[in-house]
Chain A
């Protein structure tokens, strides 16, 4: 029997194997894997089933969103909003006074301070200044971030129920406190697919930090795919060793040798396809070709030597040390330029139960210039309009002191009732402060933003209705915002 008659896929195969001297032609590959309507070829970097195009399940967004991509600067350990973004001048007069019961209202505390006899108020020792035309008050710890005040929406009333790091960070990243759910980046990859054929759609960057070494842990679940197919999980881009795991050829295998292997592999797989007709074989050939291309595209991406001096200067001296927050911010911009949908930069070291002034100064110095530079750099390239930048942690910190309170030193315990996050670009209203906390930065006075609301708003900026991006698992339609979340319209431009 004529095999071409037997296998309807033979047509595709012919088209596919219009080979060039250097292997399989990219055009043929893209044709096989179908093209994005935006004309950029989008064979999936992470593959898929037999029909391996990667537009995501949504195909297109639910409505037109301003943001095409997100850069999430995650401050693990929970920075003190009181010392950075939410000034409380009245507290000066209340130094070492007890937090009134009327404010605490018997709310639960962590078991680290629930045994304390007193809850003395520790005012911030840092000055706040009105910055930019909008006049948003920002701490002196953030001189550079202050300089972009007119681009920021500072949200001072984010809140959560989780009171410990592990559940809280899992909650804000996946919408549930217990492990098992997909992370935000995985949801985006699942919903919208990816728009760069040679890079992953969800990239994670880990930063070095200056404050004390015993920082809170991170977990792969924070960029994991949960119950979504694992190709949606975040890919960590490492600053030491292979930037992407297993990217380099083994020692003693040259690029030419590898090309020979891949050519022979493609030919043999092609024959196998001819014999058994499983379309998955074609997808496999495509993935091997993409792996080969990643071996070029990833080093090109991580090579910062092509950046001009004025750009490097913008990000500050740290940018030259691989793995610093500043270097990662610059990498994040380069990823954004390459249309990577979701970049998450983690930095640890914000869990300041004691000696807060010493550690917060170091941490602020770690992040301030890089974060501000990222926003400025995106803006000068005209990319801030469609790139959403988010800065924040998993909860806030208490106004009352943990441990010994002195005029110059204090510590703060976990505080889930209100904390601050800033956002910029990608459809967010610039130069505003949203929400108001009470004088003690303890309770919310107006405009609360639950972390589900925050996530719903982020999805909204991307053109996604958070209630409609769902995945059926164990008989239930799951989503990032669980059964909650409302878009905060006032935050949107």
Chain B
């Protein structure tokens, strides 16, 4: 190096060194200060990517310190910058020597060079990237500020503030606090009653009680879900090409329920990533896997399946790694990661976790591209629970009535006939006498009767079972006593579809000499007969899985004429595993129905033929009377008295009727269940290969890979299976350095607008250094220690003094830390899109607080879908909903991904086409136009005006009330004066112009309360519109 140049540069550096020194409060930290410099400027050529590496020199590893160069010299000599080649090269004045080279487009600032020098001189202590090291719970700093701190968060914040000689802010007013925490925990403003209650609560712990109330509200789960749905890229359409509707909202319901039930985050993780791979997964766990079915899909004519299967896999890797790891694995598709140590092969190993799904690459533009699952909505689930309660109650009434019955066996038997329709069970535990039993197709040549604890049985002892890869059936003909059909009769059979392996189609066939009487459910895969005729009649969708469902076939539907005698019956299926049981007819043909008087006689009859009798009752009947337990005897007596005994059945009939009605409703609900998209793996995993240059059609067959996690992170526990379940469990194992940090950071971001790590999506070496490194580690470890308790984490944050600070700006803080990264004041920024709309609806008294369910289509300007949509798409035409659907929370608004709701997009909501964990926050005139003019907001203003006018009082009283509705606080006198003046102007306007008032009040579909003066309501509507547009109204403060 040119000596003179070096002298000059060192001279300059000396000056800079002094100035940097003056600002430095502590030691240079490799991770905070040095790694970003090297990562930004050097890693491209001297980083993890082996293909790009120059001079075989790597600067992202510990061995840089003390590394002897081939050219002689030491790269970095601890405590001696002047003897370190690295420093020499970056500070060189010789263009041929200078690093980074000029043509690289990178260069170090003088300040960065000084930092490098000081770091080397201080001993060049190297550390692995902070976020890749398992966090150890840091000691809470021993700082103190009397009467300010509320919990350990505050100690960490205070310690940083004190370093910068900044004062924290005092606690915000109660009005501000309750508004802030209500929006933050539920996405909605507090009501006036809630505000008044809090203001009046002078007992200690008032704030904690508010927090508890909010955490218990169902609105909490909705609010938390919508952040998660941005990350999950949830939408109601496929997102590509035709952009047809897709049904995956039951997954959204699942997320809401999980948050409301405070599901621990580790469970939340495992169920969404791998619920289907858990042992005996519940319905709910299967629904959870919708997370990775939310990605955009296509069925564009001409598209190539392999290409899209790969794209979907990449999307799932990107989303999973962004959400849990805070890492960007997407760029490793084509090349080695430039900044983080994730080699190409490891990307494909990660991809392999998602490469064995059964889904088809082309979604068929279908509402429900398989695999899918039927599942009750939140409301159906609630009704089912109520029905179950009612059923239980009726049963206990029956029990009580039974106790009162004094029955004595008369020992004799009399038969009574009934002309009412009755049920004849024909097939139960065995085919009818004389039947010639056969089986054909896939799934074995036997009619398998099964029972015991491994199989579901509906009645009697056994059910019949078949598992089939394609078409398979068992059947009989030639039954001796055939079923004689009467007009209006209904055939029935009970079926139980496997929860994991359901068939595509099931069919019942009846033989009265020919087999041309068929009814089926599900897809039309079995070709026999003619479609839509008695020889192949569709009776509906497949029934719910995992439970017994009664199938019914009115005889007319399959062309069985009165007098026909059924001698054969076939149970047919296409694919899947199916149990059948209890089949027969509900008939009016007059064979007569036996009514019993003697328990003993009845019991011995049941012992001989238990058709239609519950399994346990039948077993008891078959047990010899001296071997019967007291319990069994009781069971028999009970069944006899309730169902068979001539003298007592009348007492029970009405109860049985309501029981039957409730049970029928259960069946009806189960029939109407919505479906949702879920994940399932193929039985044999698909082999994954490294793809050359990321090209889907260029697998490198010499490089097959197995599912595995990036090697730079801790290994999965020994028992972790090499599939998504293993991946999910690995993510939440306690030594995982990223999941907990990334999660607490995202939650922190919800409260303060910016995460402790600003780049919430990137914790890699290009991510930002945390503002409070020890705080994020403390929160992350605390989160794990609490058992991943999400509500506890939210409570911890909102209870901190840091969160409760006033958000007023102070010159001192603004100067030292304009972005408030050190948290010298409370958060103040514009509310998110959903909070704005939901808040206006709530204030206008319009919000419909209905939990969960299918998406709705509230107001939207005409033509937005038409302008972009494919004419053949089923979402090209927007049809607005009416009534309650207009006033649901925004998270339920139908999300067409190629033309997302303008109310949301205008306020920075993402398009939901890909995973987003951090929204921008802009401030535009289009937002002003929307808040002032959109029907939804004008209608809310009118609702608000009606509410204001509904209470008697002076203008002043009413203005105060209106102001409090949007800001929670009382207006200052000057503010009140401005509002009163404006109101007077509006009053004059609408008094002089009643026609304008009428037109304004006609905006929106909500009803206007009667007896209100139109001019007065119009004036107050415009005033409310103003209040809803106040900066304070649209900001969290």
Q: Are B809 and A277 in touch, CB under 8 angstroms?
A: yes
Q: Are B999 and A252 in touch, CB under 8 angstroms?
A: yes
Q: Are B999 and A284 in touch, CB under 8 angstroms?
A: no
For window 60-104 of chain A, which residues contact chain B by CB distance below 8 Å? none
B938 within 8 A of A: yes
> Which of under 10, 10 to 19, 20 to 34, or 35 or more describes the interface residues of B?
35 or more
Select one of B239, B328, B982 contacting A474, CB under 8 A: B328
A275 within 8 A of B: yes
Q: Are B923 and A111 in touch, CB under 8 angstroms?
A: no
The interface stretch among B298-306, B669-677, B726-734, B771-779 is B298-306
Q: Are B929 and A247 in touch, CB under 8 angstroms?
A: yes
Name the residue on A nearest B329 (C-beta).
A474
B948 within 8 A of A: no
- Given known contacts A47-B922, A219-B898, A251-B1000, A230 and B905 CB-to-CB distance under 8 angstroms: yes
- Which residues of chain A have C-beta atoms less than 8 A from B972's C-beta? 271
For window 220-251 of chain A, which residues contact chain B by CB distance below 8 Å? 220-221, 224, 227-231, 233, 235-236, 238, 240-242, 244-251
- Which residues of chain A have C-beta atoms less than 8 A from B872's C-beta? 214
A385 within 8 A of B: no
Select one of A180, A230, A253 contacting B922, CB under 8 A: A230
B998-1037: contact bitstring with A at CB < 8 Å (1 yes, 0 no)? 1111110000000000000010001001100111100101
- Which residues of chain B have C-beta atoms less than 8 A from A179's C-beta? 239-240, 296, 911, 913-914
Q: Are A241 and B922 in touch, CB under 8 angstroms?
A: no
Select one of B759, B807, B908 contacting A475, CB under 8 A: B759
Residue among A242, A249, A265, A273 with max Cβ neighbours from chain B (10 Å): A265
- In the bound complex, what is the Cα–Cα distance between A238 and B1002 (angstroms)? 25
A338 within 8 A of B: no
Q: Are A229 and B920 in touch, CB under 8 angstroms?
A: yes
- Which residues of chain B have C-beta atoms less than 8 A from A268's C-beta? 975, 978-979, 1026, 1030
For window 884-905 of chain B, which residues contact chain A by CB distance below 8 Å? 898-900, 902, 905
B450 within 8 A of A: no
- In the bound complex, what is the Cα–Cα distance between A414 and B303 (angstroms)? 11
- In the bound complex, what is the Cα–Cα distance between A50 and B922 (angstroms)? 10
- Given known contacts A48-B922, A215-B870, A217-B870, A166 and B933 CB-to-CB distance under 8 angstroms: no
A333-361: contact bitstring with B at CB < 8 Å (1 yes, 0 no)? 00000000000000000000000000000
Q: Are B811 and A252 in touch, CB under 8 angstroms?
A: no
Name the residue on B nearest A285 (C-beta).
B1031
- Which residues of chain B have C-beta atoms less than 8 A from A241's C-beta? 861-863
- Which residues of chain B have C-beta atoms less than 8 A from A5's C-beta? 811
The interface stretch among A138-146, A287-295, A404-412, A449-457 is A287-295
A116 within 8 A of B: no
- Which residues of chain B have C-beta atoms less than 8 A from A6's C-beta? 810-811
- In the bound complex, what is the Cα–Cα distance between A287 and B907 (angstroms)? 14
Select one of B340, B767, B914 contacting A178, CB under 8 A: B914
Q: Are B925 and A287 in touch, CB under 8 angstroms?
A: yes
A-B contact pairs, 11 of them (CB 8 A): A6-B811, A47-B922, A110-B302, A217-B241, A217-B870, A236-B867, A250-B1000, A260-B989, A265-B1029, A291-B932, A475-B762
- Which residues of chain A have C-beta atoms less than 8 A from B870's C-beta? 214-217
- Which residues of chain B have C-beta atoms less than 8 A from A285's C-beta? 1031
For window 163-180 of chain A, which residues contact chain B by CB distance below 8 Å? 163-166, 177-180
Residue among B322, B911, B1022, B1037 with max Cβ neighbours from chain A (10 Å): B911
- Which residues of chain B have C-beta atoms less than 8 A from A240's C-beta? 862-863
- Which residues of chain B have C-beta atoms less than 8 A from A163's C-beta? 302, 304
Within the complex, what minimum Cβ distance (angstroms) separates B802 from chain A? 18
Within the complex, what minimum Cβ distance (angstroms) separates B871 from chain A? 4
- In the bound complex, what is the Cα–Cα distance between A291 and B814 (angstroms)? 29
- In the bound complex, what is the Cα–Cα distance between A276 and B498 (angstroms)? 62
- Given known contacts A217-B241, A220-B900, A46 and B922 CB-to-CB distance under 8 angstroms: yes
A-B contacts counted at CB < 8 A amount to 279
For window 369-414 of chain B, which residues contact chain A by CB distance below 8 Å? none
B504 within 8 A of A: no
Q: Are A280 and B829 in touch, CB under 8 angstroms?
A: yes
- In the bound complex, what is the Cα–Cα distance between A295 and B932 (angstroms)? 12
Within the complex, what minimum Cβ distance (angstroms) separates B307 from chain A? 9
A362 within 8 A of B: no
- In the bound complex, what is the Cα–Cα distance between A449 and B942 (angstroms)? 58
Within the complex, what minimum Cβ distance (angstroms) separates A352 from chain B? 14
- Given known contacts A108-B304, A220-B868, A291-B928, A280 and B999 CB-to-CB distance under 8 angstroms: no
- Which residues of chain B have C-beta atoms less than 8 A from A258's C-beta? 932
A129 within 8 A of B: no
- Which residues of chain A have C-beta atoms less than 8 A from B867's C-beta? 206, 218, 236, 238
Having A48-B923, A254-B993, A475-B766, one finds 18 other A-B pairs with CB under 8 Å, namely: A46-B925, A110-B302, A110-B303, A111-B303, A166-B300, A178-B914, A206-B868, A215-B870, A215-B871, A217-B241, A219-B898, A261-B1022, A272-B1031, A272-B1032, A278-B809, A291-B928, A294-B929, A475-B759
B140 within 8 A of A: no
- Which residues of chain A have C-beta atoms less than 8 A from B930's C-beta? 245-246
A28-62: contact bitstring with B at CB < 8 Å (1 yes, 0 no)? 00000000000000000111111010000000000
A296 within 8 A of B: no
- In the bound complex, what is the Cα–Cα distance between A260 and B1031 (angstroms)? 17
B259 within 8 A of A: no
- Which residues of chain B have C-beta atoms less than 8 A from A236's C-beta? 867
Name the residue on B nearest A473 (C-beta).
B761
Residue among B302, B331, B924, B1002 with max Cβ neighbours from chain A (10 Å): B924
B559-581: contact bitstring with A at CB < 8 Å (1 yes, 0 no)? 00000000000000000000000
A112 within 8 A of B: yes
B808 within 8 A of A: yes
For window 616-650 of chain B, which residues contact chain A by CB distance below 8 Å? none
Within the complex, what minimum Cβ distance (angstroms) separates B747 from chain A? 19
Within the complex, what minimum Cβ distance (angstroms) separates B998 from chain A? 7
- Which residues of chain B have C-beta atoms less than 8 A from A165's C-beta? 241, 300
- In the bound complex, what is the Cα–Cα distance between A178 and B241 (angstroms)? 12
A7 within 8 A of B: yes
Residue among A179, A206, A258, A267 with max Cβ neighbours from chain B (10 Å): A179
Select one of B241, B986, B1002 contacting A166, CB under 8 A: B241
- In the bound complex, what is the Cα–Cα distance between A474 and B911 (angstroms)? 17
Name the residue on A nearest B867 (C-beta).
A206
Q: Are B809 and A247 in touch, CB under 8 angstroms?
A: no
Q: Are A230 and B868 in touch, CB under 8 angstroms?
A: no
Q: Are B331 and A476 in touch, CB under 8 angstroms?
A: yes
Within the complex, what minimum Cβ distance (angstroms) separates A354 from chain B? 12
Name the residue on B nearest A468 (C-beta).
B105
Residue among A7, A166, A180, A474 with max Cβ neighbours from chain B (10 Å): A474
Within the complex, what minimum Cβ distance (angstroms) separates A111 from chain B? 5
- In the bound complex, what is the Cα–Cα distance between A163 and B304 (angstroms)? 9
- In the bound complex, what is the Cα–Cα distance between A49 and B1025 (angstroms)? 25
Within the complex, what minimum Cβ distance (angstroms) separates B304 from chain A? 7
- In the bound complex, what is the Cα–Cα distance between A467 and B105 (angstroms)? 10
- In the bound complex, what is the Cα–Cα distance between A288 and B1030 (angstroms)? 11
Residue among B302, B828, B978, B1002 with max Cβ neighbours from chain A (10 Å): B302
- Which residues of chain B have C-beta atoms less than 8 A from A117's C-beta? none
Q: Are A256 and B989 in touch, CB under 8 angstroms?
A: yes
Q: Are B240 and A166 in touch, CB under 8 angstroms?
A: yes
Select one of B916, B922, B1037 contacting A276, CB under 8 A: B1037
- In the bound complex, what is the Cα–Cα distance between A453 and B96 (angstroms)? 31
Within the complex, what minimum Cβ distance (angstroms) separates B1007 from chain A? 18
- Which residues of chain B have C-beta atoms less than 8 A from A8's C-beta? 811, 814-815
- Which residues of chain B have C-beta atoms less than 8 A from A264's C-beta? 978-979, 981-982, 1026
- Which residues of chain A have C-beta atoms less than 8 A from B330's C-beta? 474
B708 within 8 A of A: no
B784 within 8 A of A: no
Within the complex, what minimum Cβ distance (angstroms) separates B680 from chain A? 24
- Given known contacts A246-B926, A290-B925, A475-B759, A180 and B999 CB-to-CB distance under 8 angstroms: no
Name the residue on A nearest B1019 (C-beta).
A257
Q: List the 8 closest pairs (A to B, CB-CB), nearest first.
A: A252-B1000, A110-B302, A475-B766, A277-B809, A252-B999, A179-B913, A217-B870, A291-B928
